[in-house]
Structure 1
């Protein structure tokens, strides 16, 4: 691998400690969500004295509204759309996407890379592969932790099929693909690491805020289609063991468009710092 894909290996090797810590943090967090679900019934956590879950909470269940947060699928889905989960994913995507091109341009090392017989297309392809492998690792860690908890708990297993856990993990991969494509395009065109990291964080944070407002406030409901979180519904996947192919196509399409744009953006730009 080092000989055939040196840029891919180097990108992962430089951030191996960060990736290990992010994966461990993902496992521990999802395990905590599972422990909470097993210890306290979700209805007792989120149902008030009136016996009804506040409508605003549906934005945190990882669902379009069909699955309540006061349920096992809703609570486990919340763990897969929690701000902590989002922060870990954005940290990985922003760090590796920034290192794809923009960081080397900022540091002035991009010219040293291109002195070797490495094409610009190969540069972005191998660096993109490093980001893809990273998000696959994080989503696999989260999925494995949830699957282990569901398998070990009869009450959870009765409400959440293991197939649903697997499909929620697949949906998580589609969601992170949607984020990493535009991040790589910004890196291919940008000159500063901060530009890429800031844009990645803004994309995730603003997307989450827009989806929350759209679900909690009915006049803003049409805005939900602008957020990637509207198409990422792990709570529904956990409850129904079904993959929504329309939203999946949109998530994959946005990510693919961003990655496709990165190649011509890098090919036509001046690499001088």
Structure 2
């Protein structure tokens, strides 16, 4: 890989310690979520699926549900680990760092003209540096999915309510969400002259997107705003309870990501790279 895709390898090699820490952090976090979920008596938190108190509507955002799954159920508790702000922070960290390094960092440091020379074309530069965050996001979601799957498989009670098929479908949708965040971040990197612009855009997409979905679920008058948030289409809680592939949501998330990547190529091929 070093000989065939040197820019991809270099992008990952330079951030190997950060990526290793993110992967380990993801594994430990998801393991804790599964262990904690296994210690909560079924249906006891907030009344669960049974009678008694029910959680506020806004809590749907924390379990990745549109309303059919309570955060007090096993699917809701496990889903909370796949849409928790810490999970989002780990994903955004990888996306922001590698997206900023794709173009904007070299433009800011003045080294872009040394990199984009023959036989390294602009298209090849962006293609290999786009592959780096895509692979990083794939690794993070794979670790999260496999950790949750192992925990669910080892807990008979949890496995009864959370099919393993649902865990893997939720992992697939999680990767689609990261692709949705990555595409626009790369487009900003291709157009920006400062890495801070890319970092800010990636953080805004993650934080503001989650907050928008939270507000839309908590306040009925703001309900239509949920369609503008990528987290409206990412519903791991619902998928864990009802393991079917949400083709519509998957198409929206992947479509936004691919559109962002395509925009990044279009911008980079036409922009002036002079400092």
Measure, in 2, the Cα distance between the counterparts of 1:167 and 1:112: 43
Where do 1:45-64 residues align within 5 Å? 45-47=45-47, 50-64=52-66
Query: What TM-score do you get using the length of structure 2 for normalisation?
Result: 0.97
Is residue 267 from structure 1 mapped to residue 269 from structure 2 by the alignment?
Answer: yes
Displacement after TM superposition at 1:50 (Å):
4.8
Say whether the 8 Å CA contact 1:175–1:228 is kept in structure 2. Answer: yes
Measure, in 2, the Cα distance between the counterparts of 1:58 and 1:262: 34
Displacement after TM superposition at 1:249 (Å):
0.6
Say whether the 8 Å CA contact 1:47–1:54 is kept in structure 2. Answer: no
| Greater CA drift, 107-116 or 261-270 | 107-116
2:158 is matched with 156
| Greater CA drift, 133-142 or 116-125 | 116-125
List per-residue Cα deviations over 1:66-107 (Å, max 9, x = no partner): 111110001111110000000000000000000000001101
1:5 is matched with 5
1:22 is matched with 22
| Greater CA drift, 39-48 or 64-73 | 39-48
Displacement after TM superposition at 1:116 (Å):
4.2
Displacement after TM superposition at 1:10 (Å):
0.2
| Greater CA drift, 216-225 or 109-118 | 109-118
Measure, in 2, the Cα distance between the counterparts of 1:220 and 1:28: 36
Coordinate RMSD, CA, aligned:
1.3
Displacement after TM superposition at 1:235 (Å):
0.8
Which of 80, 83, 88 aligns to 1:86? It is 88
* SS in structure 2 of the partner of residue 7 of structure 1: helix
Measure, in 1, the Cα distance between the counterparts of 2:52 and 2:255: 43
Measure, in 2, the Cα distance between the counterparts of 1:260 and 1:228: 18
Measure, in 2, the Cα distance between the counterparts of 1:195 and 1:207: 17
Where do 1:1-273 residues align within 5 Å? 1-41=1-41, 43-47=43-47, 50-273=52-275
Displacement after TM superposition at 1:44 (Å):
2.9
Give unpaired runs (5+ residues) of structure 1: none
Q: Closer, same or farther in 2 for the Cα pair 1:82/1:55, shift >3 Å?
A: same
Measure, in 1, the Cα distance between the counterparts of 2:32 and 2:174: 19
Give unpaired runs (5+ residues) of structure 2: none
Measure, in 1, the Cα distance between the counterparts of 2:117 and 2:220: 56
Measure, in 2, the Cα distance between the counterparts of 1:47 and 1:196: 42
Q: Closer, same or farther in 2 for the Cα pair 1:42/1:97, shift >3 Å?
A: farther
| Greater CA drift, 90-99 or 261-270 | 261-270
Measure, in 2, the Cα distance between the counterparts of 1:60 and 1:233: 10
Displacement after TM superposition at 1:243 (Å):
1.3
